[in-house]
Amino acid sequence: MVVDYRKLNSITEKDHYPLPNIEDQLERLAGHTCFTTLDMASGYHQLRVAEDSKPFTAFVTPDGHYQYKRVPFGLTNAPAVFQRAINEILGPLRFSYALAYLDDILIISKGIDQGLERLEVVLKTFKSAGLTLNKRKCLFLQGEVEYLGSVISEGQVKPSPQKIKAVRNFPTLQNVHDVRKFLGLASYFRKYVKDFARKAKPLTILTKASTPWTWSQTEQGAFDLLKKELGEEPVLALFDPKLETQLHTDASKDGFGAILLQKQLNGAWKPVQYMSQQTSSCESGYHSYELETLAIVVAVRKFRNYLYGRRFTIVTDCNALRLTWTKRDLTPRIGRWWIELQEYDFDVNYRPGTQMKHVDALSRKPPVISLIKESDWLQCVQNMDDECGRIKNEIENGLSKDYRIVEGKICRVVNNENKLLIPKDVRWRIVRQYHDENGHPGFKRTYESISKNYWFAKMKRFVTKYINACIPCLCAKKPTGKRRGYLHPIPKQQLKAIMNHGKIILPKYNEVST
């Protein structure tokens, strides 16, 4: 029976006792092979309601007026009260091998014998507290169990098949309300999906109040892709504090991406969690070095419960991060980020971008780039760019003499030569390739190298701005010209007039003729 307590809940003083963090619970499972799940019989009803609070639970039926003696479902403070009671009953056991999330209890052990001993201790504790269990929902000494929406086994975790089935069978979205419901369900499993933020972006945009409702192939494709990714039941490794840990990060103007990996006993690196996040309109204008640094900050914040107090390695494709880790003269923004990272114990390793494709896709706007040939990436980017689409229509209608299509790619005609047109979203990537990964040459050499094969509007200004903001160049290259000294005060001249912007009231003066 369910009672509508909405009015009562609206005037009830809230109990803010916290529920356990699910990620913290799963983190403690590494190294265990035997699991027991216990479920309370009508969980809330096992706690008594205080005498002075019973009248507030009253309800009316055709048979009369009643009030609860036990805690009913629907009260706003019921979860907090129940969690506090379970924690007090388990006592120190909940810090070692008895994990409790409301009425879901998980007992972990490294074998059946140890599991039997721990199960006996927990059952005696519950018996002394007067708690009863639902035998049909309990699983004893299993190698694989479902807990808090995930299926856990020795060293790995994957999403619950029932939850995945709900995502896979989700009907086509008809309105914004349906989009929010689907994203809420799918986001619970975002740690299992590479590039979740990028793949869900077409649907996320629909939830904005300023976006009109449109359901095209783009939105349908994102919807189907998320259902397909989750339908494959991806598997992640359980985090083990004893194993070597690496954090791989990457960034672009579209978003940040990171993968937390651990080296298993067999020498293989397995992912523990994925992270992806869209950049804000302000962040998208940052320099590439700033974006790469911010990607590390965002990833470390996300995985703080795994990384804090432990030694780990950050792997990035931005060599400037490793070079400037020990620099003292940094911009205020970069300096604040590095100060935040100082409380962590880590090393920074550099890997070329060609070896970071597994995380590079998490931060890029078109998630399909990693699935196509390297030689066709520019054509794919051009096909997804609005400006390139407009130019292509003009070429096909014979309205443009400055552009032509060569082997499926849009080219700009410069002195009778075809230069590949670079869309706005990836211009910084081309400049970075010819500047950062080519020894940080000056403007002339960088510009000449790019202009041999590529073209985009205001290329000189873009390259100049990029090089002037390059942190390694600013740190390594000595300033030219005469060295400036300290400022000195300028001596005042005698009888020099000084203008002061102010209002002075002078006494009246009566002119007297001589």
What is the mean predicted confidence (pLDDT) over 122-130? Answer: 88
Question: How far lies 143's CA from each of 139, 380, 441, in Å?
Answer: 10, 46, 58
Q: Measure the CA–CA gap between 291 and 48, rounded to whole angstroms.
A: 54
**3-state class of 364 per DSSP?**
coil
Q: Is the pLDDT of residue 364 over 70?
A: no
Question: Which tens digit of pLDDT belongs to each residue from 62-92?
Answer: 888 888 888 887 788 888 888 888 888 888 8
The most confident of 223-237, 302-316, 404-418, by mean pLDDT: 404-418
The predicted structure's pLDDT at residue 497: 58
Does 502 have pLDDT greater than 70?
no
> Residue range 25-52: average pLDDT?
83
Q: Could you read off the pLDDT of 395-447 as tens digits, one per residue?
A: 888 888 888 888 888 899 988 888 889 888 888 888 888 888 777 888 888 99
Interatomic CA distance for residues 321 and 332, integer angstroms: 15
Query: DSSP letter string over 440-466?
Result: ---HHHHHHHHHTTEE-TTHHHHHHHH
> Any idea what DSSP says for residue 208?
S
In this predicted structure, the answer to whether residue 479 has a pLDDT above a threshold of 70 is no
Element (H, E) at 302: helix 288-302
Q: 17-26, 302-311, 335-344, 406-415 — which one is most confidently predicted on average?
A: 406-415
- Reference 109, options 20, 36, 26, 24; nearest CA is 36
> Could you give all domains of the chain from N- to C-terminal order, each with its CATH number?
6-148 (3.30.70.270), 159-231 (3.30.70), 236-363 (3.30.420.10), 372-470 (1.10.340.70)
**pLDDT surpassing 60 at residue 504:** no
pLDDT of residue 359: 46
Which of the two residues, 467 and 305, has the higher pLDDT score? Answer: 467
Predicted local distance difference test score (pLDDT) of residue 482: 66
At residue 32 the predicted structure's pLDDT band, cuts being 50, 70 and 90, is confident
Confidence (pLDDT) at 475? 74
State the chain's mean pLDDT as an integer.
79
230 class by beta-carbon count within 10 Å (0-12 exposed, 13-18 middle, 19+ buried): buried
- Separation of alpha carbons 250 and 258, rounded Å: 6
Which positions ≥6 away from 39 have C-beta within 8 Å?
103, 104, 105, 133, 134, 137, 138
The residue with greater pLDDT, 325 or 357, is: 325
The pLDDT of residue 509? 53
Q: What is the pTM of this model?
A: 0.50
